[in-house]
Amino acid sequence: MTNPKIIKCSQKLPREFYTRANVVTIARELLGKLLVVPARDGTRVSGMIVEVEAYRGPLDRAAHSYGGRRTKRTETMYGVGGTTYVFFVYGMYYQFNVVTNARDIPHAILIRAVEPVEGIALMRKRRHRQPDHNLTNGPGKLCLALDIDRRLDRADLLGNRVWLEEGEKIPRSRIMSGPRIGIDYAEEWVDKPWRFWIRDNPFVSKR
């Protein structure tokens, strides 16, 4: 389960990684990165990102920020790249997003699945002893396993509550893409291939 190829004592990804303009490119590059959310006692709990979706702000009908919509909930999407957008859906689940681009340009990347790397025993406890392959293979599930909720909305990814590290290099040949999930309302944007995942990785969400 533990991935030996993950580089330990890695540095946080720099602000410049997140503030670039092309959210689709950044989304693809997030595959293989390590998402770290320390537990209350400071223990490292982390997972390698294996599936993401890019949301392209005002132009993208699937995005909460479509048409420049700016409300109490979506306000954090307008923050500077390298911050978080965490929202609540279906009355029971949270969804974790990485905000990209400059302040006031509401681009975001939904983290759909990670592969458990550190703190797996704690993840099992938080997920009520589900089998390991079911711990973090979906956007709502990974928030439960990593203890992500509204407290982590608007967090700075260069701070100490949640951050990303370099992780593992994924060869281009192992990266797959396809339409995003659960956005049937998005009209002509439904077919945009802005979902990316690592081929054959067992922690990619079911479909």
Partner DNA sequence: TGTCCGATTGGT
Partner DNA sequence: CCAATCGGACAG
Residues that bind DNA (CB under 7 A): 53, 55, 62-65, 69, 71-74, 77, 85, 87-93, 95, 97, 108, 110, 130, 134, 138-142, 180-183, 185, 205
Q: Which is nearer to DNA, 97 or 201 (CB)?
A: 97
Q: Which is nearer to DNA, 135 or 172 (CB)?
A: 135
Q: Which is nearer to DNA, 8 or 150 (CB)?
A: 150
Q: How far is the CB of 33 from DNA (least distance, A)?
A: 17
Q: How far is the CB of 126 from DNA (least distance, A)?
A: 11
Find all residues with CB under 8 Å of 154, minimum gap 6, and list them: 76, 79, 83, 84, 85
The token duo for 190 is 């439904």
Q: How far is the CB of 110 from DNA (least distance, A)?
A: 3
What whole-number distance in Å separates Cα of residue 82 and Cα of residue 159?
10
Q: Which is nearer to DNA, 70 or 161 (CB)?
A: 70
Give the residue among 5, 48, 15 at the shortest CA–CA distance from 202.
48
Instruction: Indicate the SS3 state at residue 59.
Output: helix
Q: How far is the CB of 107 from DNA (least distance, A)?
A: 9
Number of Cα atoms under 13 Å in the Cβ half of residue 34: 26
Q: Which is nearer to DNA, 87 or 197 (CB)?
A: 87
Q: How far is the CB of 182 from DNA (least distance, A)?
A: 2
Q: How far is the CB of 95 from DNA (least distance, A)?
A: 5
Q: What angle do CA 141, 147, 153 make, to 5 degrees?
A: 100
Q: Which is nearer to DNA, 128 or 169 (CB)?
A: 128
Find all residues with CB under 8 Å of 142, minimum gap 6, and list them: 47, 96, 111, 112, 113, 114, 136, 148
DSSP codes, 84-114: EEEEEETTTEEEEEEEESSTT--EEEEEEEE
